Structure 1
Amino acid sequence: MNSNKLLTGAGIGALMLGMSTAAFAANWRYAIEEYEGDVQDVFAQEFKRYVEENSDHNVQVYRFGELGESDDMMEQLQNGILQFFNQSPGFTGSLIPSAQIFFVPYLLPTDMQTVLEFFDESKAINEMFPKLYAEHGIELLKMYPEGEMVITTDEPIKTVEDFQNKKIRIMTNPLLAETYNAFGATPTPLPWGEVYGGLQTGILDGQENPIFWIESGKLYEVSPHLTFTGHGWFTTALLANQDFYEGLSKENKQLVDAATEAAYDLTTEHIQGLAEESLNKIKKNCDKCTFTHLDDQQVAKLKKKAPQVEKAFVEMAGETGKKLLKQFNADLEAVKSDKE
């Protein structure tokens, strides 16, 4: 991003000032990893609207940069400074290795409706994941997709060989590193606040993100060659501090659950067509940008790399990861069968 906002003493001071010593504070604090108008912000603002229209509570939304990087906000959630936090499983992978399953390439389909149906109906998503988060004092309220991942680079990528030695920025996620190693690139972990500058100065050769984030963050200005590989989706999750959530009254717990469902419904509607809208904005604003959809032959080459990443996932996540992967595949088959 152009602006690299840092966590300051003043920011933490303002946050602490807004805290109540009561566990059931009427001022609920909710942090997201994105900026105004982005997908997580759409979710958060609808959650806020629902809570405030149906109770006397207030929801204070903190956008990216106001409270630090993702790891900082997760620590604040676990310590009870935040009541709610939207975090991608990509960042949660170091805490919950099984959450890295979303970075096994070509596991999820590319069709929007199939993906949405999977998130609605998946036992892995809705039954297994909440138990995994609960082991770390976190209440998983909802997982949802934001958009298909797109890779941007300093040069056009037309073949798998073009990935060779490209320094691609990744989240701090061991399995995502395995994916880009398998693709032939050089995975380069870097905090989000440093990505725009890293691309601009050549520290990085590229990065991956959903197209709306590439457009809103103007990453195309410094990484103008977009490659569509169909290898994965960006997924995020609304989390709550478990002590806070379990300590809510029955009415307030129902309020939080209803607000979550309202936000989910609005957001899943919002993301439909968002990729095309964002792509058109980039095309309008960037004469030097190129847009490459890898052909079937090149995609097949990348898909051949997926089993080694899947194997690495099982090694990292152990028996739990093996069970989760089995359920993931069963859920995906069920969704596909429904469409036949």
Structure 2
Amino acid sequence: MSLLKYASAALIGACLATGATAADITLRLAHLNPDDPFASHSGAMAAVFASLVESNSNGRIEVQVFPNGQLGKDNEVIDQVRSGLVESTISSSGGIAQHYPLVGVFDIPFAFPNIGVASKVIDTDSSFGEAFVADLEDKTGLEVLGLLDSGGFFAFTSGKAPITSVEDMEGQRIRTMTLPTHETMVSSLGGQPTPLPWAEVYTALQTGVADGQMNPVPIIAFAKFDEVQKYLSVTNHLITPYIWTMNAEFLDGLSAEDQYLIRWAADVATDAGRAMSRVIEASDRGLPALAEKMEVNVVTPEEQARFAEAAQPAVRALIEDSYGAEGMALLDAMLASIEEERGNF
């Protein structure tokens, strides 16, 4: 281990040791977002999970929550979970992609027709979700505790100009996650992709390193992007997963009773997180609050079709070129699951 890595590990270890109690088992759970359960879905998930685990174990298991990316960038925390330095994390697709690139199959623009279909497909209990989770676990060695959407459909924000049509994307520097699929999508629409880790986004928008970005409304709200962006364009072009993982050795080392408790609490907490996203979207914490400070426009169905026509072939070609037959099979399985659920709505 290099001196830098050793120092980083020591610093993380010192941070994790802070506040340790006499509980028999300590479970450290990290996530990117605010701790307030009413501000973000992962905040709600962490709060519900900690409460259920600690109360139902009579305090034998203590859950220490590290919100707001306290332990590092998303992909770095996943490294910590894989190595056993941290027990669990709730991650964005951007973080997961550096460990499991096939998460990019979710990035076909306008694949999901509505939030109902998305909620059914992006779930560990769906036929696609089961296959996706099994493959992720096999390739990473992680245990998946939960799978849900990242807070709703993506919208674009910009400090430069509103996005009402494909032509409005021309030349705009749009921050993306470090995902080739997202970069390709923005490029195909005429924008300039600017991949940056989450911790750098606000400053990049504030200083003009990026003109705009794309995220679900609840994330735009809690990140306070209304302070550094003037325009919000409701495009509903993407919906991506958040994936809750745990160190497999840690979970396997628990008693059967405690394993059941952990999985049950995670199931309930994931449902709570999914519901909290819908609450934020439907309340004055979501779009109404942003509309007080930003100019909001809704992209018409006709323009959405033009966005899809421009972006879908490029992203599909990237998935085929990058991930081959395996990637296309997983993509086709997702699209089939979407069509199956579409018939129920």
Normalised by the size of structure 1, how large is the TM-score? 0.90
Whole-Å separation in 2 of the counterparts to 1:47 and 1:153: 35
Query: What displacement does 1:198 show?
Result: 1.1
Query: What displacement does 1:25 show?
Result: 6.0
Give the 3-state SS of the residue equivalent to 1:273 in structure 2: helix
Whole-Å separation in 1 of the counterparts to 2:98 and 2:184: 14
Query: What displacement does 1:310 show?
Result: 1.2
Matching residue's letter, 2:119: L
Aligned mate of 1:313, from 301, 316, 319: 319
Whole-Å separation in 2 of the counterparts to 1:175 and 1:227: 20
**2:42 paired residue number:** 40
Aligned mate of 2:77, from 73, 78, 102: 73
1:15-58 deviation line (CA, Å, top 9, x unaligned)? 146789xxx96110000011122111101111111101110201
Structure 1, gaps ≥5 residues long = 1-6
Aligned pair in 2 of structure 1 residues 210, 335: CA closer, same or farther (>3 Å)?
same
Aligned mate of 2:289, from 258, 281, 290: 281
**2:26 paired residue number:** 27
Give the 3-state SS of the residue equivalent to 1:95 in structure 2: coil
Whole-Å separation in 2 of the counterparts to 1:65 and 1:157: 30
1:192-250 deviation line (CA, Å, top 9, x unaligned)? 22211111111110011111111111101111200111211142011001121222221
Query: What displacement does 1:132 show?
Result: 2.2
**1:202 paired residue number:** 208
Matching residue's letter, 1:207: Q
**1:224 paired residue number:** 230
Moved over 3 A (4+): 7-12, 16-20
**1:52 paired residue number:** 54
1:118 and 2:121 are equivalent in the alignment: yes
Aligned mate of 1:83, from 76, 82, 87: 87
Whole-Å separation in 2 of the counterparts to 1:245 and 1:57: 12
Give the 3-state SS of the residue equivalent to 2:343 in structure 1: helix
Whole-Å separation in 1 of the counterparts to 2:24 and 2:168: 53
Give the 3-state SS of the residue equivalent to 1:156 in structure 2: coil
Aligned pair in 2 of structure 1 residues 164, 59: CA closer, same or farther (>3 Å)?
same
**1:336 paired residue number:** 342
Whole-Å separation in 2 of the counterparts to 1:97 and 1:254: 30
Give the 3-state SS of the residue equivalent to 2:32 in structure 1: coil
- Conserved in 2, the CA contact under 8 Å of 1:160 and 1:302? yes
Give the 3-state SS of the residue equivalent to 2:86 in structure 1: coil
Matching residue's letter, 1:280: P
**1:173 paired residue number:** 179
- Conserved in 2, the CA contact under 8 Å of 1:128 and 1:324? yes
Query: What displacement does 1:61 show?
Result: 0.5
**1:4 paired residue number:** none
Give the 3-state SS of the residue equivalent to 1:272 in structure 2: helix
- Conserved in 1, the CA contact under 8 Å of 2:100 and 2:139? no
Whole-Å separation in 1 of the counterparts to 2:74 and 2:89: 9
Whole-Å separation in 2 of the counterparts to 1:274 and 1:85: 22
Alignment coverage as a number of residue pairs: 326
**1:300 paired residue number:** 305
**2:96 paired residue number:** 92
Give the 3-state SS of the residue equivalent to 1:135 in structure 2: helix
- Conserved in 2, the CA contact under 8 Å of 1:16 and 1:81? no
Q: Sequence identity of aligned pairs in percent?
A: 27
**Root mean square deviation, CA, Å:** 2.1
Whole-Å separation in 1 of the counterparts to 2:325 and 2:19: 42
**2:272 paired residue number:** 266
Whole-Å separation in 1 of the counterparts to 2:81 and 2:253: 15
**2:246 paired residue number:** 240
Whole-Å separation in 1 of the counterparts to 2:244 and 2:93: 10
Query: What displacement does 1:130 show?
Result: 2.7
Matching residue's letter, 2:54: E
Aligned mate of 2:295, from 280, 287, 290: 290
Whole-Å separation in 1 of the counterparts to 2:264 and 2:199: 33
